[in-house]
Structure 1
Amino acid sequence: MKPCSSPDTVVDEIIERVGKHIVLGLPLGLGKANHLVNALYQRACIDTSLTLNIYTALTLEPPTAPNELGRRFLEPLQERFFAGYPRLEYAQALKDNSLPSNISVTEFFLQPAAWIGCNSVQQNYTSVNYTHALDYLISAGVNVITQQVAPEHSHGALGEHYSLSSNPDISVDLLDKRSRGKIDFVMAAQVNRQLPFLGGAAVRDSSELDLVLDDPAYDFALFMPPHQPVSNADHAIALHCTRLIPDGGTLQIGIGSIGNAIAAALVLRHNSPQAFKQLTDQLQCSASWPNGESEPFKQGLYGLSEMLVEGFIELLEAGILKRTVNGYCLHAGFFMGSPLFYRQLQALPQNKRDQIAMMPVNYINDVHDHAHGSEQDKRQARQHARFINCAMKATTDGAVTSDGLENGQVISGVGGQYDFVAQAHTLQNARSIITVRATRKRAGKVSSNIVSQYGHTTIPRHLRDIVATEYGVADLRGKSDAEVIAAMIEIADSRFQEQLVSEAKAWGKLPQSYQVPAAFCRNTPEHLNGLLAGAFKENTLKHFPLGSDFTDTEQRLSRALNLLSETVGTNKATVNLLRLGLTTHPKNHLDELTRMELAAPSKPTEKLYQLLLLGALRSL
């Protein structure tokens, strides 16, 4: 295997080996070999006798601004966060509806909310559990895999090994099956020295790579979305969930602000147990889960996560992630994160990096999979597992919606959520915890995320287990429908409880005598914010608990813009913000206004933007 210095040379070799019908498998998310993919795409655009069928998941695209204020905030960030990331040309063609007829793209997990309304993506989406993706690729006849890899030595000549780094998730099993003669394909790798070299099953012998693009000119910056602010509701959800995690247990958490908040809450519990207990007492956490955990971690936790999220690095550094399985504190299938996260990974001392093993997703998500260890060993290792995943909505009978809307539009995908829920039900003393924000607010209108029914389901009610909102925890496993409905209503926002109770009674699912207990009749944002206000003042809770690559000014702006997106839309809400803006002197927020080029508005629309932004900043 002789390294190539040109993507076109690699494409020539691929066509020479497999012909002009290319079924291309790309890793999920970060692991895509963008330069090789673009070269293949360009070749297929030029040579229409070549067919290119792409199978992948989580095609990453930099964020776009939804409005003028968003544009003013995002444009300076594009240069800092995404300038070095080569865009995938097939993604732009999908957005423009200009994909050539000899090229197709099929995904089983979409970048969340990025492809709403894009007909070609919505029509070609395939709903597949993560553990089924391997067989799906094989049945599709994949004959080429392209993937980014990390060299064994980041400086110098090629070593004997490469790391699949961010994405051993499916590629490891594909390579293993090929070595046993079960399938055949060309493995084309692109070396990227920006990727950290991580161990476990991700480490592969150089002989397994048929073609390698290796030229520092094609190293590129990793896709690195910045942290989003953690809301009061997210912190409350995290505090409730952290009480459910026993010392010596197994932990999985997902990406996003709730996952960040859970990591921060675990660190608080470990380092400041009194402050943690005081805060959870203020939230009346014991009302829905009386015997919660609040002690520091002595045995520590073992991480078993489809995604290596940055919160796990915090837990590793804090000495919480220290229970080992086969010599590792954490097994994960893929990773992606903020610039800060990548710097933390690269800077990890070797002894700590050696505690992380990147593994096939089937090892992590499926206790019954025998290709990577025995079922008995997995069951013994995964003691007291807590699998924590997010959802958009939950019905009062315990069904969960996470990946799509009731009109069929796909938001993201099932991914591994079902796999973890099923695993929680098959492991002894394991629990699935689904987190749901009690409400959503868009354009000034508040709606409940706890509903009586919804026209799309990701996790059916017969797999109901634990659901957590900012107002408490509902333990649903093994309960009757009436008990489940009552528990779900008790963690719903109080503005919607009466309607939920009325509907359940009308359908004969709750006794007519049922009333919401007094302890759950104050489930409002105002009450919650009051309970948490002191913790923010004392810096016990932070809106960016894992740090941020935003400046302090941008951190405040990101929170203000989130508030605007939730609030502006109804006349009353907009007028209230404008009134606040009129009574706020611009000099009080000069840094924020300067960053948004609104310090000296010259047009009526710019003055309006300034007032709205001042009103939002005043409301923080």
Structure 2
Amino acid sequence: MSSNAGPWGSLTSILKSEMMKDMKFAKSLAEAENFIFSRLGSSIRLATPLGLGKPNQLVNRIYERAKKDSRISLKIFTALSLDFENPKNELEKRFLGPFYSRHFGDDYPHLTYLEDLHKKQVPSNIHLHEFYFQAGTLLKNENAQQSYISLNYTHVARAVLDHDINVIVQMVALSKDRSKISLSCNPDLTLDVMELYKKSQKPLLMIGIIHPDLPYLGGDAEVDASFFDFIVESEEVRHSLFAVPRVSVDEAEHLIGFYASQLVVDSGTLQIGIGSLSDALVNAMIMRQKNNALYRKISEHLWKGRADLHQKIHLNVLQEGLYGTSEMLMDGFMHLRKAGILKREIFDHDESARRYLHGAFFLGSKDFYHWLRSLSGADYEGLSMTKVSKVNDLYDPHELAIRKQRKNARFFNTCMAVTYLGAAASDTLENGQVVSGVGGQYNFVAMAHELEDAQSVLMLRSTNLKNNHKASNILEVHGHATIPRHLRDVVITEYGIAFLKGESDDTVIRRLIEIADSEFQEELVETAQRNGKLSKEYKIPSYAKDNSLKRVKEFVQSYKDEFKLFPFGSDFTIEEINLGKSLNQLKKAHTEKLLGFFVKGLGVSKNKYSAELERMELYKTRTAKDFFYQRLILGALGK
């Protein structure tokens, strides 16, 4: 928020701070609930932040009240409603139950509306609209799929205004001296929405719920108490924050990340997402920085015989470092900062400060939250949480300055499939079922085309399992493109990099076929040639003929100390990692194969895997069912 000019402005600011120190916050969530209904009556149109910033307990109280009283009309507008997957059988329950308790805590408040959504029990007087799903969790859920709103992230604030939302509830942080409030994990849409509502002069209630463990971050996220109509500081709000478990990175993902890391330019700009491909990219960038000789050796091995691509890749140590601007901040930026890579600073005109990182929202591991809470000095001052419109596009009063700041930008995102003409599907299946959402991906792809020397990089595995059968992720067509082919730029699979920007359709098809799995290459060639889009003379070059997962695994295993399964540690114990692999095998197995695991398990000594069996409470068996489970697991562990 801008400060008032002149000496009276300074006095006003001081008085506000002093008033807030003495301010009596409400002590219960019930007070906030009653305040909302007393002000808005029976028509509640509520927005709450995506991800971590949802005050689940207050949202649940409002939802339950509307659920009990059909005279209340409740609309909830949000995204990324976080929860952890319910165990589907007894083995999963034995495995996940103790982990959930340890990792998320027994006090984590699950969203009641999400539970009812899964059970198909949402009352008719309540309408839920999300613009981004937790990936894959709401497939085939008719209510969620029909109520989903497809939006670019930067257009969500306008949609909130158009839907006439009348209250926002948000989890916030309180400064140590109790003089300020931080929007912390979610200034992203809240700041943009407030600006639109002020311009339109529509009424909007702002409710802040203080969580004592939420990191207090400054920049644009820091606001006065007057930003809110009602603030709650209650002993009820002590639950664990939703922390994303650190994920494993397999061989194919490691190679994708390594290829991607070679596109990063020193003194450039970086945006990355979340998940295993992001971790693989960050791991490779740190290798490039800390063990450059080995990094170059691996690169030379990968690009053997491809001198034509050497001029397009970068292998040097990042001396000047990178500046980060990403809608989502996650663990990767923490690792890059610690590694001395994320250090290029830009001058932020809006905040009159130097920043090494701008983010719109954050979500990550427990270690990441601890790091954010412990930031000090330049590490703290250089990180700014801000509105999504400032991060995801260029349309700003300081646009010319922003363009200069975002030099040599590399915007990395993941997708599910790419057509051989370069269109990408990132959020929706062929049948229209939404997996996740557009989010900010389109924003960053479009921005890459508007910035000088920028690249939009889409990363994907070359294949997937569809109904237990291997299928290509490089396709002839896909019914729902997130990124149209005219915005094609760079695509990476475990088999290499395809540079597509400004190229002809024939060239685009060739390059994508050459990073496809060999099992599907000839079919793609035949289809493209039959459709008149690929020269009849084209033959797959020798360097692309052995695109096999076997070769990828062999290559990565030869450098296994650099490409670890959990490059940044794991929230699972060694026994749980072993069990996880085994349970995954059992989950995919058909009846005959399950029987095979059982028979094999009869010949495996339980003492060999006593720790794993103790973890599952199956070392000692009391029933025939327990014995069957024990031998199933031993059969899978002994594979």
Q: What's the counterpart of residue 207 of structure 2?
A: 188
Runs of at least 5 residues in structure 2 that lack an aligned partner in the other structure: 1-22, 348-353
Q: What's the counterpart of residue 19 of structure 2?
A: none
Q: How does 1:305-324 map to 2 (within 5 A)?
A: 305-324=326-345
Residue 264 in structure 1 maps to residue 296 in structure 2: no
Shift of 1:455: 2.1
Distance 2:304 2:462 in 1: 16
Distance 1:600 1:73 in 2: 16
Report sequence identity in percent: 40
Distance 1:188 1:97 in 2: 29
Quickly say closer, same or farther: Cα 1:398–1:554, change in 2 above 3 A: same
Distance 2:188 2:619 in 1: 48
Distance 2:171 2:179 in 1: 16
Name which of 86, 93, 110 aligns with 1:71: 93
Residue 238 in structure 1 maps to residue 257 in structure 2: yes
Q: What's the counterpart of residue 158 of structure 2?
A: 135
Alignment check: 8 A CA contact 1:59 1:110 kept? yes
Alignment check: 8 A CA contact 2:420 2:512 kept? yes
Name which of 289, 310, 330 aligns with 1:290: 310
**Alpha-carbon displacement from aligned partner over 1:412-448 (angstroms, at most 9, x marks no partner):** 1011111111011111111100001011136642111
Q: Which amino acid aligns with 2:153?
A: Y
Bigger mean CA offset, 287-296 vs 26-35: 287-296
Bigger mean CA offset, 18-27 vs 174-183: 174-183
Name which of 77, 90, 110 aligns with 1:87: 110
RMSD over aligned Cα, in angstroms?
2.2
Residue 535 in structure 1 maps to residue 559 in structure 2: yes
Residue 514 in structure 1 maps to residue 538 in structure 2: yes
Quickly say closer, same or farther: Cα 1:528–1:301, change in 2 above 3 A: same
Quickly say closer, same or farther: Cα 1:325–1:67, change in 2 above 3 A: farther
Q: What's the counterpart of residue 27 of structure 1?
A: 49
Distance 2:557 2:634 in 1: 21
Q: Which amino acid aligns with 1:593?
A: L
Distance 1:467 1:576 in 2: 41
Q: Which amino acid aligns with 1:218?
A: V
Distance 2:61 2:377 in 1: 36
Residue 470 in structure 1 maps to residue 494 in structure 2: yes
Distance 2:385 2:495 in 1: 35
Distance 1:87 1:56 in 2: 15
Distance 1:130 1:540 in 2: 36
* Partner SS, residue 60 of structure 1: coil
Alignment check: 8 A CA contact 2:606 2:619 kept? yes
Quickly say closer, same or farther: Cα 1:134–1:611, change in 2 above 3 A: same
Q: What's the counterpart of residue 128 of structure 2?
A: 105
Name which of 206, 229, 248 aligns with 2:225: 206
Residue 595 in structure 1 maps to residue 615 in structure 2: yes
Quickly say closer, same or farther: Cα 1:261–1:66, change in 2 above 3 A: farther
**Alpha-carbon displacement from aligned partner over 1:501-532 (angstroms, at most 9, x marks no partner):** 12112212212221111111111111111111
Quickly say closer, same or farther: Cα 1:616–1:398, change in 2 above 3 A: farther
Distance 1:601 1:406 in 2: 46
Q: How does 1:174-573 map to 2 (within 5 A)?
A: 174-178=193-197, 182-284=201-303, 287=306, 289-291=309-311, 292-326=313-347, 327-368=354-395, 370=396, 373-441=397-465, 444-536=468-560, 539-565=561-587, 568-569=589-590
* Partner SS, residue 131 of structure 1: helix
* Partner SS, residue 333 of structure 1: strand
Shift of 1:587: 3.6
Distance 2:121 2:453 in 1: 51
Q: TM-score, normalised by structure 1?
A: 0.93
Shift of 1:144: 0.4
Quickly say closer, same or farther: Cα 1:518–1:286, change in 2 above 3 A: closer
Alignment check: 8 A CA contact 2:175 2:181 kept? yes
Quickly say closer, same or farther: Cα 1:295–1:75, change in 2 above 3 A: same
Shift of 1:452: 1.5
Quickly say closer, same or farther: Cα 1:386–1:569, change in 2 above 3 A: farther
Distance 1:313 1:589 in 2: 36
Q: What's the counterpart of residue 169 of structure 1?
A: 188
Quickly say closer, same or farther: Cα 1:575–1:240, change in 2 above 3 A: farther
Shift of 1:609: 4.9
Alignment check: 8 A CA contact 1:229 1:559 kept? no
Alignment check: 8 A CA contact 1:311 1:546 kept? no
Shift of 1:72: 2.6
Distance 2:131 2:30 in 1: 28
Distance 1:577 1:236 in 2: 32
Distance 1:512 1:618 in 2: 50
**Alpha-carbon displacement from aligned partner over 1:535-589 (angstroms, at most 9, x marks no partner):** 21xx222111122221122233334444555x52496x76886787677554443
Distance 1:95 1:380 in 2: 47
**Alpha-carbon displacement from aligned partner over 1:89-138 (angstroms, at most 9, x marks no partner):** 11112122222222111111111111112111111001011000000000
**Alpha-carbon displacement from aligned partner over 1:287-335 (angstroms, at most 9, x marks no partner):** 4832321111111001111100111000011110000122111101101
Alignment check: 8 A CA contact 2:145 2:433 kept? yes
Alignment check: 8 A CA contact 2:491 2:497 kept? yes
Q: Which amino acid aligns with 1:496?
A: F
Shift of 1:603: 6.2
Alignment check: 8 A CA contact 2:185 2:361 kept? yes
Distance 1:508 1:310 in 2: 46
Alignment check: 8 A CA contact 1:444 1:568 kept? no
Alignment check: 8 A CA contact 1:340 1:549 kept? no
Distance 2:234 2:258 in 1: 47
Alignment check: 8 A CA contact 2:270 2:326 kept? yes
* Partner SS, residue 539 of structure 2: coil
* Partner SS, residue 135 of structure 1: helix
Shift of 1:244: 0.5
Distance 1:128 1:286 in 2: 43
